[in-house]
Structure 1
């Protein structure tokens, strides 16, 4: 467990050391979605684009574009190893063996290839686009994001001496320990790593995941990073993402088909995975409209993940929706995954899974700066709660730089679907600030789906 991260970083062979070490170095849901796409949409053409939502950060100036091209080329050359295919075939995921079909795994080993890409710099920002078959482009999302993030880290590290790096990582380790100490022993707490896409580096994410596993024990439920799950015998966590409903909606011919695309996807997904992996992600076009129009069978799904909506509001809305349909929320799972840190995790766990004292409102939990008595909570579960901890788990180096600048602060970077079969793709989100797509299409989608429950909130990470 003792790793001299400063020395490892100081001695990096910057030109040759690969950022993406394996094609498994991606979120687990990308592989589940890839099988779904391979099975149902093998000839569909799409494009993805890299987007920097932290517009004040001029990534094109901060990162050497030639280094980025070298890393992307190295990633394109990777192939799935036999041992990785055997693990995917034989491992148990979510209590089930054989989630991946033999024909899919054979294709993955023998025929899978990543698409080409278009790379440049425009007005100080990186321009990066992937075009081709959906099966050849979808995995680029995580590889691109983790590569850009780590190249930014490496560029900032080049300016530090080994002693300064040692201080940087000592401060980050101390912060990680303080966070874990607050979570250790909290009754019924469930936390997993969701931090691959915006990690500080591969080595740091690996360090964090091993530390979480060692320190938190059963409170740490696993990692979304498939390679780290494979390498360290951890649970691989994840199901699906916004990309799927965005693509099906883009290919809809009428407004009516557009409105129902989000439910047609769910129907196809549950048939594909024989009633497993049933976690809703309802905010692609707005959570409130999704729940209001959902068929009754959707309430039989295992749970819901809240991504862009205030999780206190989203959880309450989901609980009320389940109760109105005669389902017991205590048997369901609610996952929060947007911009979480320790205070938010403890507050949400207290609100949904246990109480410090009666009569608290969501605002009391959100404003709390300290939940040190969390280990004394008496669980009074309203719904099973789990936290998917991302950026501020694997990339919290804020104020750790001994030189005092913000070169290690996390940036809000995404890589999203542009179009499917030549038709523009749109994500409305539960936050007006996170809407993606051509403005004319965003306005059309809002006419179709409405804006009920959508807020205007700042983007944190």
Structure 2
């Protein structure tokens, strides 16, 4: 059975969160302060991984405990040394003024009518809502997702153990390194628990040979982790830029999704000049619509793009063609551009993508999440079968009184009501 019934260390640091939540917080605070919004939780696979009612007290307590979190002097020093794009004004505010206020900002409701009896007991459907000004509540998403997942594996699916996790992570890293892949750990939001992420990162560090000397030519390496806390305590590079909510919120504020990519890119660059964080996310309103904006000086100046939905091999061909046909980029400059792949990756797929990138002449890096931090098998029930990872999200729902929409290149990842989605599709049709 599971060995993780010890007290959880999850969310005992304000930095136990992904970097891009903080980079977006700084940008939102600069450009859209005091903008009301709300977020909603969705379990995309409730039939497979439904949170048990017995998890509710633990989950509520862990969320309430977030009110105690503060940016420590040591953590601030780490951010100053490793994230120079954070301004003194932002770090002063984060350390001295920002506080989680879960009592006011988080609502949790259980739908008793959807209770079902399963083999592992009575389960309930949970509704979680985050409400407040955008820059004040933007940091909740990743910690709450991590806590929901940990609650499920603490009180629901307990037929697993940590045994073999270090070795599995080390082997994955060794294979990626040998294939020449540059990869980061992106697994906070859907990790099995805090301890899993710690063990996995230790395995990835061991498998990538960090600390064993100079990087070998032609070999890949672990570039870092999206989790600021683990980057701090394990001396790793923090990795991340922006998420879909940046564009989604801007589209709602503008009341026009056709302008959101342009405005989002311009305002991001003004917050992070010199391409300090120059990887652009493409698929919020479909990559086709994004590329109508991402051309000329934008395509030339931005370091690269991030893939997060749709077929990644087709995406690579599409981006190469887009760069090659742009008069300010072309085939020569294109070879310096980077694609960050971050959608449902495993070791095999990342290696195939690396091989394709090498053959076609474009830089590739990989952000790998669930495959690292929630890759388990059952010990007793159907021994050896996969212990299913939770497929959960928290998406921005309303911003400035307008519903937020995500279209994506994968229709299963769309979010928003049918009416709001239809409105956004009409707006972006002017670009296509």
> Does the pair score TM above 0.5?
yes
* 1:414 match: secondary structure: strand
Structure 1 residues 348-387: aligned runs within 5 Å: 348-354=353-359, 382-387=361-366
Q: Does 1:179 align with 2:181?
A: no
**CA contact under 8 A between 1:286 and 1:451: conserved in structure 2?**
no
Structure 1 residues 6-25: aligned runs within 5 Å: 9-10=4-5, 12-13=6-7, 17-25=8-16
**CA contact under 8 A between 2:35 and 2:399: conserved in structure 1?**
yes
**TM-score between the two structures when normalised by the length of structure 2:** 0.88
Structure 1 residues 49-88: aligned runs within 5 Å: 49-57=40-48, 59-61=50-52, 64-88=55-79
By how many angstroms is 1:178 displaced? 3.8
Q: Which residue number corresponds to residue 87 of structure 2?
A: 101
- Sort the Cα spacing of 1:249 and 1:440 in 2 relative to 1 into closer, same or farther, 3 A: same
Q: Does 1:48 align with 2:53?
A: no
Q: Does 1:26 align with 2:31?
A: no
Q: For 1:100 and 1:136, how far apart are their aligned partners in 2?
A: 17
Q: Which residue number corresponds to residue 414 of structure 1?
A: 393
- The partner residue of 2:99 within 113, 132, 137 is 113
Any stretches of 5+ residues in structure 1 without a counterpart?
A: 355-380, 454-461
- Sort the Cα spacing of 1:155 and 1:340 in 2 relative to 1 into closer, same or farther, 3 A: same
- The partner residue of 2:204 within 209, 212, 230 is 212
Any stretches of 5+ residues in structure 2 without a counterpart?
A: 115-123, 210-214, 216-220
**CA contact under 8 A between 1:63 and 1:151: conserved in structure 2?**
no
Q: For 1:211 and 1:19, how far apart are their aligned partners in 2?
A: 19
Q: Does 1:148 align with 2:148?
A: yes
Deviation string, structure 1 residues 67-105 (Cα, Å, up to 9, x no partner): 11101001122111121112212x134xxxx31111111
Q: Which residue number corresponds to residue 221 of structure 1?
A: 223
* 2:63 match: secondary structure: helix
Q: Which residue number corresponds to residue 92 of structure 1?
A: 82
Q: For 2:382 and 2:372, how far apart are their aligned partners in 1?
A: 21
**CA contact under 8 A between 2:37 and 2:396: conserved in structure 1?**
yes
**TM-score between the two structures when normalised by the length of structure 1:** 0.82
Deviation string, structure 1 residues 244-298 (Cα, Å, up to 9, x no partner): 1100101124xxx431121111001101111221111010000012102435221
**CA contact under 8 A between 2:295 and 2:326: conserved in structure 1?**
no
Q: Which residue number corresponds to residue 427 of structure 1?
A: 406
- The partner residue of 1:449 within 408, 413, 428 is 428
**CA contact under 8 A between 2:162 and 2:196: conserved in structure 1?**
no
Q: For 2:19 and 2:49, how far apart are their aligned partners in 1?
A: 30
Q: Which residue number corresponds to residue 195 of structure 2?
A: 203
Deviation string, structure 1 residues 350-397 (Cα, Å, up to 9, x no partner): 01124xxxxxxxxxxxxxxxxxxxxxxxxxx51011111111111111
- Sort the Cα spacing of 1:62 and 1:179 in 2 relative to 1 into closer, same or farther, 3 A: farther
By how many angstroms is 1:299 displaced? 0.4
- The partner residue of 1:251 within 236, 253, 257 is 253
**CA contact under 8 A between 1:24 and 1:227: conserved in structure 2?**
yes
Q: For this pair of structures, how many residues does the alignment match?
A: 401
Deviation string, structure 1 residues 25-67 (Cα, Å, up to 9, x no partner): 1111111111111111121111011111113136343652111
